[in-house]
Structure 1
Amino acid sequence: MDYTIIHEEKYQQFTAKLDNEEEAELAYATPEKGVLNFTHTFVPESYRGKGLAQQLIKHGLDYVREKEFKVIASCTAVQKYLKQHSEYEDLLQ
């Protein structure tokens, strides 16, 4: 299933709005200009195993590429995604 993901720059996260007012998120910090450090990914238990975390991460990485930023992957889910998707290696700081 494809989820609508929005960038909430104010909260430094990419968010998928789910049923029952639940949210999934990919949070980041900005340690320096032009760099996003993906710090954690959260998906409610009832949505796990459905590819939602991967969609959030892909969305975040595509945003980084579009803005010509670099990425730091502090989040283990993002680290795992990057190992499986070498097309994003050039984004690593």
Structure 2
Amino acid sequence: MLPRNCLCNLRRAQRLAAGKPSGSQFCGLSAEAKRVVHDRQQRRFVVRLDGGGPERSAVLSYAYRTDRHVQLLSTVVPEPFRGKGVAAQLAKAALDFVVEEQLKATVSCWYIQKYVKENPHHGYQAYIED
């Protein structure tokens, strides 16, 4: 039997080959887990995760350097949920926030740097300062 992530990727590939939508990139997670919440007070983006145990969350934290400049600090995804697209959803939400608010951003998190490089079509690089 294939591991869950292999089965999810196989099903996704089969749907794409059949011309059907690829479905959720959160294969194996509940519908609630897909929702990214922007907690402006705590300056973070959160995805609540459930894994049959205590409630857990994936978090992308940021801080304001000035009123028009944010620093994207870190992305943390609990081990059982890594590789399922959760960090990508957090990165996209944070970068979309930067674009929508017309902010400048400094990126401290390696994953967000990787996400920006892998998604040049979104135009995020124009908002990133070294």
TM-score class, shorter-chain normalisation, is over 0.9
1:64 to 91, 98, 105: 98
- Kindly report structure 1 stretches of 4+ aligned residues shifted beyond 4 Å: none
Map of 1:91 onto structure 2: 127
Q: Are positions 1:53 and 2:87 aligned together?
A: yes
Question: Residue deviations 1:28-49, cap 9 Å, x none?
Answer: 0111111111110000101000
Q: Any unmatched runs of 5+ in structure 2?
A: 1-25, 27-32
Q: Any unmatched runs of 5+ in structure 1?
A: none
Superposed, 1:74-85 pairs within 5 Å as: 74-85=108-119
The structure that has the greater radius of gyration is 2
Q: Are positions 1:12 and 2:43 aligned together?
A: yes
Aligned pair count reads: 93
**Displacement of 1:70 after TM fit?**
1.1
1:55 partner amino acid: Q
Tell me the TM-score normalized by structure 1.
0.93
CA distance in 2, matches of 1:8, 1:80: 23
Structure with greater proportional strand content: 1
Question: Residue deviations 1:7-53, cap 9 Å, x none?
Answer: 11111100001113100010001111111111100001010000110
**Displacement of 1:71 after TM fit?**
1.1
CA distance in 2, matches of 1:84, 1:33: 28
CA distance in 1, matches of 2:91, 2:78: 15
Name the SS of the counterpart of 1:57 in structure 2: helix
Q: What is the aligned-residue RMSD (CA, Å)?
A: 1.2
**Displacement of 1:57 after TM fit?**
0.2
